[in-house]
């Protein structure tokens, strides 16, 4: 009874949470910026067919330049490595490499793609690297820095490098959260001195730096907090060891500045309400969690590095942006193939194009480019897969909707293409535009 009472009280408190709504006027302004590019998108459909991924080459280059400028304020040289897992399209890897960025890979498959893309500098991070992946790193040792994830991985790398007589440049990943799911990554900060001593006994493992990664950050709080913790740990180490640190990899996890757009089901109180009233779920409410611009991220991180990192450490800094670079620079075009009712349409693309039931939880506007208007109208926009969860949205912006209309789902660059599935229907083709298209949320 006491447990039940406690759970009911928790549920009441959860339902009282207030999540900020999306400002509809600003959303209409964003949709208007998309509509101004309707001619470009419609031409691309005519040339390439539907459905279609649209990659904005100019937008990627512009945003990479902006990130470089923002992080130039750090107290040391900065190198940027695009996190391929966020969007592993080979063309995007090639664009990033062509703009002089390094590539951050998390598997042997991604490493091969990065090499083919012409990357001159790569970091290989992630848990559970196989011996074959370590051997591939050794083969490309002239341009790969391996982020070692555990003592066991160090032991296997020592054995393999001794056998071949090949030196590998390396860093060690540090655990940012000592409990929960994030324990799978890296070693505890408290074990850093022991790890460095172990690496020192490995003649072909050249330990040069440290790596950490905090993810899904709307503001710099998590980065600042861990840098402070890292600084305390480093101050307890011998000065000689500190002088050997050539880089600190600050990871990524920077949320794009338009914030996170959610449906009710993507929020804790909304999810609970839908569970309590499944016969009438909330598909109309739209929320926005605000995020920080990249300049504020960089300034806060730079300030904390100056405060916390011992002066004996004079090093470069690595940054691993993924979502921040690709999210706003890939979009999806669909075509309506059936109007089953005034409030139900079917499109030629299924959500296998993004790999998961994203739009049941996340909100993105569906924009009718064939009948453009900034009025949002209620309508279930479904894909053509044999599953009821194949949903693109519960509304569209436009004057009306008919068979043959071309729809735009903007801002689909992050954790969509990488997760796409060969399931029932073919996947979209890809078109690269010079851009920048400049589909941006304005505060």
Beta-ladder partners of 80: 319
Token pair of 378, please?
Answer: 């209620």
Rounded Cα gap, residues 358 and 412, in angstroms = 10
What is the C-alpha separation between 375 and 396, in angstroms, rounded? 8
3-state SS assignment for residue 289:
strand
Nearest to 129 by CA among 162, 103, 155, 164: 155
The three-class DSSP label of residue 428 is coil
User: Do the beta carbons of residue 412 and residue 354 sit within 8 Å?
Assistant: yes
Neighbouring residues of 245: CB distance < 8 A, sequence distance ≥ 6: 208, 209, 210, 313, 315
- Backbone φ, ψ for residue 181 (5° rounding): -65, -30
Question: Where does the pLDDT of residue 8 fall: very low under 50, low under 70, confident under 90, or very high at 90 and above?
Answer: confident
Q: Are 19 and 260 in contact (CB under 8 A)?
A: no
Helices 57-71 and 294-308 meet at what angle, rounded to 10? Answer: 30
Look at residue 279 and tell me whether its pLDDT is greater than 80: yes
pLDDT, tens digit (0-9, with 9 covering 90-100), for 282-334: 999 999 999 999 999 999 999 999 999 999 999 999 999 999 999 999 999 99
3-state SS class at 165: coil
Q: What is the pLDDT of residues 340-384, one digit of tens each?
A: 999 999 999 999 999 999 999 999 999 999 999 999 999 999 999
In this prediction, residue 431 carries a pLDDT of 98
As a whole number of angstroms, the distance between CA 219 and CA 441 comes to 17
On whether the CB atoms of residues 406 and 30 are closer than 8 A, the answer is no
Residues with a catalytic annotation lie at 386
Predicted pLDDT of residue 441: 86
Beta-carbon contacts of residue 22 (< 8 Å; ≥ 6 apart): 261, 286, 287, 288, 363
pTM: 0.95
Distances (CA, A) of 113 to 26, 158, 196, 379: 39, 26, 31, 40
**CA 40 centroid distance within chain:** 26
Query: What span, in angstroms and rounded, lies between the C-alpha atoms of 405 and 335?
Result: 6
Percent of the chain with pLDDT over 70: 100
Q: What is the pLDDT of residue 183?
A: 87
Candidates 115, 157, 117; CA nearest to 138 is 157
Residue in this structure with the two tokens 């996890």, named with its chain if needed: 253
C-alpha span between 310 and 224 (Å, rounded): 15
Length of the chain measured in residues: 443
What confidence score (pLDDT) does residue 321 get? 98
Helix (H) or strand (E) holding 248: strand 247-249
Q: What is the mean pLDDT of the chain?
A: 96
Dist CA 138 CA 308 (whole Å):
34
Q: Residue 6: what pLDDT?
A: 85
Phi, psi for 164 (deg, rounded to 5): -105, -15
CA distance 329 to 61: 10
Give the number of other Cβ atoms within 10 Å of residue 33's Cβ: 15
The mean pLDDT of 72-99, rounded to a whole number, is: 98
- Cα dihedral 298, 299, 301, 307 in deg (nearest 10): 160
**Which residues make beta-bridge pairs with 217?**
254
- From CA 130, how far away is CA 82, in angstroms rounded? 22
Q: Are strands 429-433 and 260-263 parallel, antiparallel or unpaired?
A: unpaired
Sorting pLDDT into bands at 50, 70 and 90, what band is 7?
confident
* pLDDT tens digit sequence for 155-205: 999 999 999 999 999 999 999 987 888 889 999 999 999 999 999 999 999
Give me the pLDDT at residue 177, please.
83
The predicted model gives 426-435 an average pLDDT of 96
Q: How confident is the model at residue 114 (pLDDT cuts 50, 70, 90)?
A: very high
Which domains does the chain show, CATH number per domain?
Answer: 21-53+328-433 (2.40.37.10), 57-256+291-326 (3.20.20.10)
Q: Which pLDDT score, from 0 to 100, does residue 178 have?
A: 79
Residues 6+ apart with CB under 8 A from 405: 335, 336, 368, 369, 370, 371, 398
Position 215 scores a pLDDT of 85
Percent of the chain with pLDDT over 90: 91
CB of 169 closer than 8 Å to CB of 141 = yes
Has residue 44 got a pLDDT over 80?
yes
Q: Which of 215, 299, 289, 284 is nearest to 252 (CA)?
A: 215
């Amino acid at each position: 009874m006491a447990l039940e009472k406690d759970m009911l009280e928790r549920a009441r408190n959860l339902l009282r949470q207030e999540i900020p709504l999306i400002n509809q006027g600003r959303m209409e302004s964003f949709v208007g910026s998309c509509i101004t590019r309707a001619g470009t998108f419609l031409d691309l459909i005519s040339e390439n067919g539907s459905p279609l991924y649209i990659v904005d080459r100019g937008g990627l280059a512009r945003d990479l330049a902006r990130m470089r400028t923002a992080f130039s304020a750090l107290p040391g040289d900065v190198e940027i490595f695009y996190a391929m897992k966020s969007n592993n399209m080979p063309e995007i890897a090639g664009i990033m490499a062509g703009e002089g960025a390094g590539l951050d890979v998390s598997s042997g498959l991604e490493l091969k793609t990065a090499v083919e893309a012409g990357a001159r500098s790569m970091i290989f991070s992630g848990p559970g690297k196989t011996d074959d992946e370590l051997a591939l790193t050794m083969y490309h040792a002239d341009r790969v820095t391996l982020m070692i994830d555990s003592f066991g991985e160090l032991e296997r790398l020592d054995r393999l490098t001794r056998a071949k007589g090949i030196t590998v440049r390396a860093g060690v990943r540090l655990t940012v959260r000592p409990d929960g799911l994030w324990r799978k990554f890296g070693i505890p900060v408290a074990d850093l001195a022991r790890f460095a001593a172990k690496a020192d006994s490995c003649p072909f493992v050249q330990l040069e730096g440290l790596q950490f990664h905090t993810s899904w950050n709307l503001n710099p709080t998590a980065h600042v907090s861990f840098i402070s913790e890292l600084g305390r740990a480093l101050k307890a180490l011998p000065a000689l060891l500190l002088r050997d640190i050539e880089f600190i990899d600050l990871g990524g996890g920077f949320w794009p500045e338009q914030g996170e757009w959610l449906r009710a089901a993507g929020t804790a109180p909304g999810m609970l309400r839908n569970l309590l009233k499944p016969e009438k779920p909330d598909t109309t409410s739209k929320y926005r969690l605000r995020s920080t611009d990249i300049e504020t991220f960089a300034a806060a991180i730079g300030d904390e590095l100056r405060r916390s990192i011992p002066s004996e450490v004079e090093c470069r800094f690595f940054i691993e942006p993924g979502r921040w670079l690709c999210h706003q620079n890939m979009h999806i075009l669909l075509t309506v193939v059936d109007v089953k009712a005034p409030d139900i349409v079917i499109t030629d693309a299924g959500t296998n194009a993004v790999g998961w039931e994203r739009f049941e939880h996340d909100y993105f506007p569906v924009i009718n480019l064939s009948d453009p208007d900034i009025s949002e109208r209620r309508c279930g926009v479904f894909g053509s897969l044999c599953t009821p969860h194949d949903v693109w949205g519960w509304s569209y912006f436009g004057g009306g909707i008919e068979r043959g209309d071309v729809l735009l789902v903007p801002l689909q660059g992050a954790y969509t293409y990488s997760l796409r599935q060969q399931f029932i229907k073919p996947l979209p083709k890809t078109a690269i535009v010079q851009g920048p298209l400049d589909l941006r949320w304005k505060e």
